[in-house]
Amino acid sequence: MRQARFEKPDFYRSGTVYQLLPFQFMDFGLGRKLVVNEVGEHLILSNAEFQAFVSHGLDQACDTYLDLKTKHFLYDSESKVPFDLLSIKYRTKRAFLAGFTKLHIFVVSLRCEHSCPYCQVSRVSTDKARYDMSPETASRALDLVFRSPAPEVKIEFQGGEPLLNFERIRQIVEEAETRGAASRKSLEFVVCSNLTLLNDEILGYLQTHNVLVSTSLDGPAFLHNANRPRAGNNSHELAVRGIRRVREALGEEKVSALMTTTRLSLQHPHEIINEYISNGFHSVFLRPISPYGFAVKTARSTGYRIEEFVEFYKRALDYILKLNREGTYFVELYARLLLTRILTPFPTGYVDLQSPAGAGIGVAVYNYDGDVYATDESRMLAEMEDKQFRLGSVHGDSYEEIFGNELLRTIVASSCVESMPGCADCAFQAFCGADSIHNYGTQGDIVGHRPTSDFHKRNFELIKHLLTLYHSDSTIQRIFWSWVQDAPLGQLTEGVPQ
């Protein structure tokens, strides 16, 4: 049998007036192919155009030729600096790598007074003060934060419920401010809280030190209270009151909210969005449940198949698009993130979907006891007795030992979509990313198996859906561009690029 082999270079050059540049492609239905290049530029071609293009037979005078040339799918003798332009776009898309770790998460307490069945952090009850971060651990963690080369650093306080150890938040904010002024790093602080413990003193402090607030809002009262039970069954009432108080004290844009989709949520996409609108939000982030912590133990009551989430997401997105068509500016934030990648060369800084994965190099987590983890999810795995992704400890390990160790190098090397099996030849790789910790947590292997991966199924289906919508309707194109530019339709600064 004759073995397949590459021909000599002349075979590929002969008789052609243009050369192909690297790209991926996939069938896009209706007799079309989607082509996407290394920097995320995309085009949809008819099968006949695609065939002519790849066999070097495309007419140089046709529009498709010019489109392919402009978007760096081919070059010819008249192309001016195509590789320089491509490399600039490539560097722009990878700009998130500059500066190394920018997001530093402090788990100041593992205690919480809620008992959410899907809780990702396997909280412990409020009386266990030994699960609070100590002053010494906080200071040592800050030593590592200020070794990070990033000129801009975000410090996020998580738990449990971080306000249960507000004293530590104060210490960290004030120490960081002092060290930030000396090191000329710009700092941003965010506290992720259920707002139950919010009081005037805390509000005053957050205002004085410009601390942003991120909270949870899962939907209307019946849904939020079912998802987030606490004594008194008033979690929703307290969250909504807290959001209002933060807005009054700190300003409209200083509070954001996240929702988690449980099995109950799947039936109520419209109600969830209406709840966000009625509480003054202009966006929602539709998040699937995380397969860690208590969510594993309660999967039978709160869990669902990823296909059900995708169906829920599409219904919710349909409703959001309807609202936008009717004049209400409202954004789905995961769609904005994916659209920014699909429509622009700019990185999003979203550490859960990048290549290489953001674990350790984009985000680091300092647990209450001083252990350092590559992501919040790896800390949750540790709470499930699996310390596979523990990078080291602030008590005893140096910056180099934690952020330069073999474990972190392995995570980075195993999470480049450009070389991962299944992703390497996927047309969506420029829009997508990898999550080694998720692969390990759900499939027992950091590289993972794409055909059975929930991470892949969710991202593949959502990217395809967004591209299909974008290319089916000019009004949707304008709405999507308004989301990317973060401006209501009437304030779009530029026309919609074709």
CB of 286 or CB of 432, closer to ligand SF4: 432
Closer to ligand SF4 at the Cβ: 25 or 460?
460
Q: Which is nearer to ligand SF4, 43 or 463 (CB)?
A: 463
Burial of 253 (0-12, 13-18, 19+ CB in 10 A): exposed
Residue window 361-400: x/- pattern of binding to ligand SF4, with contact defined by CB under 6 A: ----------------------------------------
DSSP summary character for residue 191 = E
Phi then psi for 103, rounded to 5 degrees?
Answer: -105, 120
Encoding tokens for residue 266?
A: 């799947």
DSSP designation for 113: S
**Of 140 and 450, which has the nearer Cβ to ligand SF4?**
450
Measure the CA–CA gap between 456 and 422, rounded to whole angstroms. 10
| Choice from 53, 440, 460, 470 touching ligand SF4 (CB under 6 A) | 460
* Contact status: 456 vs ligand SF4 (CB under 6 A): yes
At its nearest, how many Å lie between ligand SF4 and the CB of residue 355?
A: 8
Q: Least distance in Å: CB of 453 to ligand SF4?
A: 7
Distance CA 189, CA 182 (A): 17
Find the angle CA(391)-CA(160)-CA(334) to the nearest 5 degrees: 75
Query: CB of residue 427 vs ligand SF4: minimum separation in angstroms?
Result: 8
Q: Which is nearer to ligand SF4, 194 or 453 (CB)?
A: 453
Answer for which of 459, 462, 466, 467 binds ligand SF4 (CB under 6 A) is 459
39 Cβ contact list (under 8 Å, min separation 6): 72, 86, 89, 90, 93, 345, 430
The Cα 330–Cα 281 span in angstroms is 8
Minimum CB separation from ligand SF4 for residue 442, in Å?
13
Cα 289 off chain centre by: 14
Binds ligand SF4 (CB under 6 A): choice among 105, 423, 447, 467:
423
- Whole-angstrom distance, CA of residue 316 vs CA of residue 253: 23
Select 158 or 415, whichever has its Cβ closest to ligand SF4. 415
| Residues touching ligand SF4, count (CB under 6 A) | 11
φ/ψ of residue 234, rounded to 5: -125, 30
Please, what is the minimum distance in Å from the beta carbon of residue 423 to ligand SF4?
3
| CB nearer to ligand SF4: pick between 225 and 429 | 429
Shorter beta-carbon distance to ligand SF4: residue 40 or 159: 40
* Residues of span 427-446 touching ligand SF4 by CB under 6 A: 428-429, 432
CA count, 13 A, side-chain hemisphere, 462 = 31
Alpha-helix runs per DSSP H in 285-420: 294-297, 299-302, 306-325, 333-343, 376-383, 399-403, 406-413
Question: Judged by CB under 6 A, which of 32, 282, 449, 450 binds ligand SF4?
Answer: 450
String marking each residue 56-95 x if it binds ligand SF4 according to CB under 6 A: ----------------------------------------
Residues 218-257, interacting with ligand SF4 (CB under 6 A):
none
Strand runs labelled E in 47-102: 74-76
**Minimum distance, C-beta of residue 422 to ligand SF4, in the bound complex (Å):** 5
Maximum distance among all alpha carbons in the chain?
81
Report helix, strand or coil for 61: coil
Residue 35 CB-half CA count within 13 A: 23
Task: Report the interface residues with ligand SF4, using CB under 6 A.
Answer: 417, 422-423, 426, 428-429, 432, 450, 456, 459-460
